[in-house]
């Protein structure tokens, strides 16, 4: 059977991002009810803050504009769009997004107001006849004035909840564990379970320059993409550092794959080979191992950044195409056996 040649990262990544953001951005005109624009003022000890929120109460999607930044929540995705730095997009399940979808202050008070509930929300009418919602978020008093109501069709026309793919400079996309990555990286993992741990989630990361208007990323700048699988002990109770703001639970392992030809991987290899800036050292010790599944011969390099003793902070594996980095505590003499259990997705 003929093997298909892998697409280059430069060609594949924009296509993946564009497809993901079309789905995440809600470009379709699905009926979701009206969309409201609210002018929000929060009073804090240091003064007041003001920003604008566009909220679709039925779907829960929203857009927040403050200063030079725009925040968009589409349901599967959360994006921060900076006028100067571009957009960062996080796409995945509710646990993967964490508390990010709750950033909009007015979503729940607006839903309560529209449902006719006065629980925690005081409603007043302004001189202009607009409705003013007064409530607290934690201890902060907030006043939100409903300034405009749009139909779903108008919101779609204005692209209020669309994340512009051409602005994306970095992304983190949750993937099913063990699924072949969408990025042009031949990725490895340790199977569904390893050493009492279970593969909880996988994430694809991308960082690079903004796309040109034609959709390609030929703009100057270094691109970086990698795939990582997270393994957790039962004691983690489903928690993982893949979730925003979550520290790595005790015993967490990460298996990270990046293309061997990438600039980041080549920079790391120079360190392994004894060249770290102006510092020259002996190359890091390494050994040859055969993977149990597939019989691929690889090179294993135990980590030396934290210790050169019997306990290491992980190890690296060099395959023909990939630099695999396994992060977690390992005894030095157990590393070859652990490395042999790696398998391509």
Tens-digit pLDDT profile for residues 121-137: 999 999 989 999 999 99
For the question of whether the overall pTM of this predicted structure is more than 0.85, the answer is no
Cβ-based neighbours of 240, under 8 Å, separated by 6 or more: 200, 201, 230, 232, 246, 248, 249, 252
Token pair belonging to 49: 């803050």
> Which pLDDT band, with edges at 50, 70 and 90, does 16 fall under?
very low
Rounded-to-10 torsion of CA 178, 179, 182, 187 = 30
> Which pLDDT band, with edges at 50, 70 and 90, does 46 fall under?
confident
Give the SS3 label for residue 139. Answer: coil
**Domains of the chain by start residue, with CATH:** 26-158 (2.50.20), 172-344 (no CATH)
Give the whole-angstrom CA distance, residue 257 versus residue 186. 7
Is the Cβ–Cβ distance between 322 and 316 less than 8 Å? no
Alpha helices in 29-98 (DSSP H): 94-97
- pLDDT digits 0-9 by tens, 328-342: 999 999 999 999 999
């Amino acid at each position: 059977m003929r093997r298909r040649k892998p697409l280059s990262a430069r060609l594949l990544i924009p296509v993946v991002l564009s497809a993901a953001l079309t789905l995440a951005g809600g470009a379709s005109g699905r009926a979701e009810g009206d969309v409201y624009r609210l002018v929000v003022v929060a009073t804090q000890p240091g003064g007041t803050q003001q920003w604008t929120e566009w909220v679709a109460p039925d779907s829960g999607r929203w857009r927040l504009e403050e200063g030079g930044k725009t925040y968009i929540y589409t349901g599967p995705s959360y994006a921060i769009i900076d006028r100067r730095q571009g957009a960062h997009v996080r796409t995945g399940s509710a646990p993967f997004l964490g508390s990010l979808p709750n950033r909009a202050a007015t979503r729940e008070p607006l839903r309560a107001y529209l449902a006719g509930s006065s629980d925690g929300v005081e409603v007043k009418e302004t001189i202009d006849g607009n409705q003013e919602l007064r409530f607290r978020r934690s201890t902060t008093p907030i006043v939100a004035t409903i300034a405009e109501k749009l139909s779903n069709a108008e919101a779609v026309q204005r692209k209020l909840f669309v994340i512009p793919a051409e602005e994306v400079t970095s992304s983190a996309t949750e993937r099913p564990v063990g699924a072949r990555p969408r990025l042009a990286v031949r990725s490895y993992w340790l199977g569904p379970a390893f050493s009492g741990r279970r593969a909880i989630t996988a994430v694809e990361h991308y960082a690079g320059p903004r796309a040109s208007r034609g959709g390609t990323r030929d703009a100057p700048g270094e691109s970086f993409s990698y795939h990582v699988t997270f393994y957790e002990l039962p004691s983690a109770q489903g928690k993982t550092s893949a979730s925003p703001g979550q520290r790595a639970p005790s015993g967490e392992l990460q298996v990270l794959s990046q293309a061997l030809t990438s600039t980041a991987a080549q920079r790391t290899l120079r360190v392994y080979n004894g060249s770290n800036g102006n510092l020259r050292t002996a190359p890091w010790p390494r050994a040859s191992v055969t993977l149990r599944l597939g019989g691929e011969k690889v090179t294993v390099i135990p980590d030396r950044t934290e210790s050169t003793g019997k306990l290491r902070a992980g190890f690296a594996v060099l395959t023909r195409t990939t630099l695999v980095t396994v992060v977690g505590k390992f005894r030095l003499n157990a590393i070859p056996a652990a490395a042999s259990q790696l398998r391509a997705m």
